[in-house]
Amino acid sequence: MGVKKNVPIINADEILEGIKSWVEIESPSGNSKMVNRVMDVAQGLAGKIGADIKRIPGKDGFGDILKVRTPWGGDSPGILVLSHLDTVHPEGTIEMLNPWRQEGDKVYGPGIYDMKSGAYMALYAYQHLVRKGQESILPITFVYVPEEEVGSPTSRSIIETEAKKNKYVLVTEPARDGGKVVTARKGAMRFQISTHGRPSHSGLRHEDGRSAIREMAHIILKLEALTDYEKGITTNVGLITGGTGCNVVPEHCSIELDVRVDTIEQAKKIEALINDYSSVNRDIKISIDGGLNRPPYDKDDGILSLFEHARTLAAEIGFELKDLKTGGGSDGNFTAALGIPTLDGLGADGHGAHTLDEFIYYSSLVERTQLMLRLFETLE
């Protein structure tokens, strides 16, 4: 073919090989050692490209944060690329439950879609730029965080500080529904609620007991009733623990609640409502923790024009880029809420985030990497 040997091309197999080396290191958010091993590999690649590297030691049992910056552009504001290297999958998932494999266009593996492929492709695009002997107009900072899947408790302030220093934020979360990018997200709230009753023998002294589980049952039904699809509010009691034995009136019960909202006003209303709960049985104490974790983000003018720019680039590459609003939260919620134009969902196309059927489409690797590269090359 007329291609000269020394002109590098974006190569799907090369990308996939890199993604594989990241997926094979399983990195659940809670395992800082394993998360740091993926950080090591990312750092190694960034070092080879010639980037400036900063590693911020982990806190509160989480892994490190890796900051990679192009050596050009000085301190001027540029592009922030946000990725997380943790996954929701416990270690061992890759052995039996979702082993690395390619079936036709689908490539499977834990965390491949959310989001090791997107995280790798961004760095690959940077590498490609350097291989072509070029520089981006703006400096690029890549931030790799270790605990996005649990709400980014240790990285949030760093993400926000970095975002404020930049003009644009690109988030490498997975593409949705046939390659759509994300230009708006719901807000996410988390609550931990516990009830504290009085234990007793359920056969001998039933009347002395005050059941923490019974009280919690009231609370759960109230919480679940807050779901309003029309208003875009959903509540989900996703975890529950309580009791010590079948013949003991339970002293403790606790739940974790996830709430998604469309607006900050809805979030405030729900927070007030939940904090106002009083127990049906006066002898039972309720304690409530939590609140808004990720603020909602809307497609404002800055996001709209960033998306329009990306859409034009995609058309030049040869595909149609569409956008959507999603209920899932990401670190993009933090940056968009600060008013920094944020484009999310730039990772590989695929399906099954957070499930054991998680896969990416091999055919999406080149065009998505090309889009990332073109954003690097053209944003100014």
How open is the CA angle 133-134-139, to the nearest 5 degrees? 135
Q: Minimum distance from CB of 330 to Zn ion (Å)?
A: 6
Taking the least distance from each CB to Zn ion, the nearer of 115 and 314 is: 115
Q: Minimum distance from CB of 346 to Zn ion (Å)?
A: 12
Taking the least distance from each CB to Zn ion, the nearer of 83 and 200 is: 83
Q: Which amino acid makes up residue 239?
A: L
Closest residue to bound Zn ion by CB: 114
Sole window of 172-180, 202-210, 219-227, 261-269 interacting with Zn ion (rule: CB under 5 A): 172-180
Sole window of 44-52, 170-178, 293-301, 309-317 interacting with Zn ion (rule: CB under 5 A): 170-178
Measuring CA to CA, how many Å separate 144 from each of 40, 155, 217, 289, 318? 11, 9, 40, 28, 30
Q: Minimum distance from CB of 116 to Zn ion (Å)?
A: 10
Single residue of 38, 81, 115, 121 touching Zn ion by CB under 5 A = 115
Residues between 323 and 352 that touch Zn ion (CB under 5 A): none
Taking the least distance from each CB to Zn ion, the nearer of 215 and 358 is: 358
Distance CA 161, CA 68 (A): 15
Interaction between residue 147 and Zn ion (CB under 5 A): no
Taking the least distance from each CB to Zn ion, the nearer of 87 and 136 is: 87
Interaction between residue 121 and Zn ion (CB under 5 A): no
Q: Minimum distance from CB of 90 to Zn ion (Å)?
A: 16
Q: Which amino acid makes up residue 238?
A: G
Using DSSP's 3-state secondary structure scheme, residue 379 falls into coil
Sole window of 167-175, 181-189, 214-222, 342-350 interacting with Zn ion (rule: CB under 5 A): 167-175
Q: Which amino acid makes up residue 204?
A: L
Question: Pattern of binders to Zn ion over 205-224, x per CB under 5 A?
Answer: --------------------
Interaction between residue 114 and Zn ion (CB under 5 A): yes
CA 184 to chain centre: 14
Taking the least distance from each CB to Zn ion, the nearer of 62 and 242 is: 62
Distance CA 193, CA 220 (A): 10
Measuring CA to CA, how many Å separate 206 from each of 199, 211, 297, 321? 9, 10, 50, 63
E strands present in the chain: 52-56, 65-69, 79-84, 101-103, 106-108, 140-145, 168-171, 181-185, 187-196, 200-201, 234-242, 248-249, 252-261, 285-294, 323-326, 342-343, 350-351, 359-361
**Are the CB atoms for 223 and 317 separated by under 8 Å?**
no
Distance CA 68, CA 47 (A): 9
Taking the least distance from each CB to Zn ion, the nearer of 88 and 248 is: 88
Q: Minimum distance from CB of 294 to Zn ion (Å)?
A: 12
Taking the least distance from each CB to Zn ion, the nearer of 115 and 220 is: 115
Query: What DSSP assignment string belongs to 118-163?
Result: HHHHHHHHHHHHHHTT---SS-EEEEEES-GGGT-TTTHHHHHHHH
Taking the least distance from each CB to Zn ion, the nearer of 26 and 114 is: 114
Taking the least distance from each CB to Zn ion, the nearer of 111 and 341 is: 111
Measuring CA to CA, how many Å separate 221 from each of 102, 158, 215, 230? 44, 38, 10, 19
Q: Minimum distance from CB of 85 to Zn ion (Å)?
A: 10
Tokens of 364: 């999406």
Q: Minimum distance from CB of 299 to Zn ion (Å)?
A: 20
Please give the residue ranges that form the binding site for Zn ion (CB under 5 A). 114-115, 173
